Structure 1
Amino acid sequence: MKILVTVDGSDISLRALKYALGLGKLLAKPPIITMLHVDPAPFPGVERRIGRQAVAEYHAANHEHALSAARAAVKRSKIAVQELSEVGDVAETILAVARKRKVDLLVMGSHGRSAVKGILLGSVSTKVIAQTDIPVTIIR
């Protein structure tokens, strides 16, 4: 079984990861779990203003922040987990990675660090559910 778990550094995404790890322990055959962090792309023109290197460092810091807490949970579980970091529209990138990796299950939190933005623009989990035929487990 291939499981894709989205993480963003929030407590709810850490709970989603722990759920996937717990599920992995219940399966007869060890699953392939991928932990994905998607950092939103900066507004157009930002890279030109501050430079490509500054944008790359910004994304690297965000990826590290999101994945660092998750790594501790993975280490305790003793289940092998692949890490993947991407930059782009969060919902679209999650769906693209899920399709490319042919995952059997998507696990994600009901909301993350951008809860206020989600209220205004629509949540990532809602967009993902609406646009995929892959089973999605939403953790609250």
Structure 2
Amino acid sequence: MQYLVAVDGSESSIEALEHAIGVASLLDAELTLVYSVEPRILVDEGGDAPSFPEASERLYTEDIAEAESRGERVLEDAVERAREADVDADSELLYGDPVDTIAEYADEEGMDGVFVGHRGLSKRAQGLVGSVATGLVERANVPVTVVR
């Protein structure tokens, strides 16, 4: 059996990884750990902007190399955790919206299921930024285990 675990370095994704490691140990399954590279929108320094136009001028997209580097570090740590628990694990950097890339990868690679953490955002925050866990439950063609 092969399971996909979505990791992003957050506490909730680490909890999902730990749960997946436990399941994989019981089932003698392998894990594929994925990180979806999606550069962040950042704001330059300088305090609050007095108006929206000024704020929008101060927004910029993170450099793709920095986003990739962050993802590689997260994946290295996750693979190490799995291997310390004697679970076979490999990793893959994906590019784009996490919901789309993770669901597509799981389908294309014939995964038996997906593990993902849930940050427990408020309804308002979830409405603004979305939820990868919710999106995967709706979009994935394989079972999705959401770990809280």
What is the TM-score with the length of structure 1 in the denominator?
0.78
1:41 Cα deviation from its structure 2 partner: 4.6
1:74-94 C-alpha deviation (Å, 9 max, x unpaired): 232111101111120110001
CA contact under 8 A between 2:39 and 2:63: conserved in structure 1? Answer: no
Corresponding position of 2:147: 139
Q: Do structure 1's residue 102 and structure 2's residue 100 form an aligned pair?
A: no
Corresponding position of 1:63: 71
Matches within 5 A, 1:1-140: 1-27=1-27, 30-41=28-39, 55-111=63-119, 118-140=126-148
1:67 Cα deviation from its structure 2 partner: 2.0
Q: Residue type matched to 1:39 in 2?
A: V
Q: State which structure, 1 or 2, has the greater radius of gyration over its C-alpha atoms.
A: 2
Q: What are structure 2's unaligned runs of at least 5 residues?
A: 42-59
1:13-50 C-alpha deviation (Å, 9 max, x unpaired): 111111111111111xx31210000021567xxxxxx9
Cα distance 1:75–1:133, how it changes in 2: closer, same or farther (>3 A)? Answer: closer
Moved over 3 A (4+): 116-119
1:45-75 C-alpha deviation (Å, 9 max, x unpaired): xxxxx9xxx9442122221332243234223
Q: What secondary structure sits across from 2:74 in the alignment?
A: helix
Q: What are structure 1's unaligned runs of at least 5 residues?
A: 44-49
Q: Residue type matched to 1:33 in 2?
A: L
1:83-115 C-alpha deviation (Å, 9 max, x unpaired): 111120110001110111111111000138xxx
Q: Residue type matched to 1:10 in 2?
A: S
RMSD: 2.6
Instruction: Answer 1 or 2: which has greater helix percent.
Output: 1
CA distance in 2, matches of 1:108, 1:60: 20
